[in-house]
Amino acid sequence: MLQCAILDDYQSCALGFADWGSLDGVKVDSIPDAITTLEALAERLAGYQILVAMRERTRFDAALFERLPHLRLLVTTGMWNAAIDLQAAAARDITVCGTRGVAYPAPELAWGLLLALARHIPAEVASLRAGKRWQTHIGVGLCGKTLGIVGLGKIGSRIARYAQAFEMPVIAWSPHLTDERCKSVGVERASSLDDLLQRADVVTLHMVLAESTRGMIGARELALLKPSALVVNTSRGPLIDETALIQTLTENRIAGAALDVYDTEPLPSDHPYRKLANLLATPHIGYVSRRLYERFYRDTVSNIVAWLDARG
């Protein structure tokens, strides 16, 4: 009997999104807790031949592969995973494959966070439920405000279309963004990141995390923002310098921020982000939707079946 583990199944729901029982000769376990250290991962996963990784939450490098002698198949949700060392996997004869996804859940959440931040929806709901003041904040309308999109890929392009429906002027920037790409989406190309940060009323990040983008929004960049600016990050936590953002929000140098991603996930219970009144934080739920989970896990089962068939 082969052993399969589904990692980071925080809500213990993965088994309900696909027909795992169709995998003859495979016992499937769901692991709901986050395992973060090499020692803990090696101890917990040592007996498994098949692992299912949720996006980039777990770093699979040569050191971990060496501690997993029985591992033969690693399936990642999504078709691209920077946390997997493919060369190290190949060296140990470990097959790596991915799944399809759907494009809309993350940008929909980003827009929902922006609306909630601009109109103080969580605070108003909490006050109403607690029987306190009837109205506690004066919200900001988005119509006519300039949206700055950092990264005009698939997600950034959807965000641009949402903004246009709200009658917001849109500017965009990324290191290799062209006028032709901007024209095809119907937005203006900012001349630089600084230009975008200085002009935008709302900044939303949609960049891939790499060494060149890590900390791309630091203290200097945050200081360029208007005092009334809002910042939204549903892409990767380390795109923004965490210490700089905490200081900026603590000193009320911008109006607020909304985050769905963090340097460390799950977010530590004593993290300053949990206490900032001008920060709206969600627990990385940008991808957490029924249709996406169905796609992730049904494709995962299909991948395992194909691998089993190839083994004969």
Tokens of 129: 């439920």
**Are 145 and 245 within one domain?**
yes
Give the number of other Cβ atoms within 10 Å of residue 131's Cβ. Answer: 7
Q: Which residues are catalytic?
A: 236, 265, 284
Residue that the structure tokens 């002027």 belong to:
169
Nearest CA to 159 among 201, 196, 104, 214?
104
* Interval 236-261: pLDDT, tens: 999 999 999 999 999 999 999 999 99
Check which CATH number belongs to the domain holding 43 and give it: 3.40.50.720
**Are 190 and 78 within one domain?**
no
**Are 81 and 125 within one domain?**
no
**Are 198 and 252 within one domain?**
yes
Q: What is the pLDDT of residue 312?
A: 75
* Interval 9-57: pLDDT, tens: 999 999 999 999 999 999 999 999 999 899 999 999 999 999 999 999 9
Nearest CA to 256 among 146, 163, 120?
120
* Interval 270-291: pLDDT, tens: 999 999 999 999 999 999 999 9
Rounded to an integer, what distance in angstroms lies between the CA atom of residue 295 and that of residue 17? Answer: 9
Rounded to an integer, what distance in angstroms lies between the CA atom of residue 300 and that of residue 287? Answer: 16
Burial of 215 (0-12, 13-18, 19+ CB in 10 A): middle
- For the segment 222-249, the average pLDDT, to the nearest whole number, is 98
| 209 — pLDDT class (breaks 50, 70, 90) | very high
**Are 147 and 258 within one domain?**
yes
Rounded to an integer, what distance in angstroms lies between the CA atom of residue 187 and that of residue 185? Answer: 6
Q: What is the pLDDT of residue 304?
A: 98
Q: Residue 148 — φ and ψ, nearest 5°?
A: -105, 120
Q: Residue 95 — φ and ψ, nearest 5°?
A: -75, 135
Q: The domain containing residue 190 runs over which residues?
A: 105-281
